[in-house]
């Protein structure tokens, strides 16, 4: 079974600064997707970014980018120019491409605080 580990329960960043959230995962599969979801106080899970394992290029979405190290099974999220609205819980998630299952396996989350 796949596992996802987020070792940073809480992180803090000043507005306009850069922060990196860590995520490692364990799998024996070679094809999979990795995601970062954001959950603000409203509790709505919002997709931040997605990475396909077969792609060597790191995904980027505006101020959000990932550092995907497949051999190390590491998938960190970098947030540049942090904004107050970035404050939320961030979850790393793994999704297998084996078979037809669409199950997401989540990490325990990192709470990001953004200070002035």
Q: Min. distance of Cβ 105 from another protein in angstroms?
A: 7
State in Å, rounded, how far the first CA of the chain is from the last one: 41
Which residues bind to another protein, rule: CB under 8 A? 31-33, 35, 37, 42-47, 50, 91, 95-97, 100-106, 108-109
| Type and span of the H or E element at 47 | strand 46-52
Residue 64 has phi, psi (to 5 degrees) of: -105, 130
Are 2 and 26 spatial neighbours (Cβ–Cβ below 8 Å)? yes
> With DSSP H G I counted as helix, E B as strand and the rest as coil, what are the percentages for the chain, rounded to 5?
5, 55, 45
* Residue found under tokens 């079974």: 1
Pick the closer one to another protein by CB: 19 or 53. 53
Q: Min. distance of Cβ 106 from another protein in angstroms?
A: 4
Q: Min. distance of Cβ 60 from another protein in angstroms?
A: 16
Pick the closer one to another protein by CB: 13 or 88. 88
Q: Min. distance of Cβ 11 from another protein in angstroms?
A: 18
Pick the closer one to another protein by CB: 17 or 29. 29
């Amino acid at each position: 079974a796949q596992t996802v580990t987020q070792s940073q329960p809480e992180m803090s960043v000043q507005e306009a600064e850069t922060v990196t959230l860590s995520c490692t995962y364990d799998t024996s599969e070679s094809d999979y997707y990795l995601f970062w979801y954001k959950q603000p106080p409203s509790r709505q899970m919002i997709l931040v970014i997605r990475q396909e394992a077969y792609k060597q290029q790191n995904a980027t979405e505006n101020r959000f980018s990932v550092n995907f190290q497949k051999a190390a099974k590491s998938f960190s999220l970098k947030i540049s120019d942090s904004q107050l609205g970035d404050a939320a819980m961030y979850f790393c998630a793994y999704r297998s491409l084996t078979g037809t299952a669409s199950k997401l396996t989540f990490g325990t989350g990192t709470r990001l605080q953004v200070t002035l």
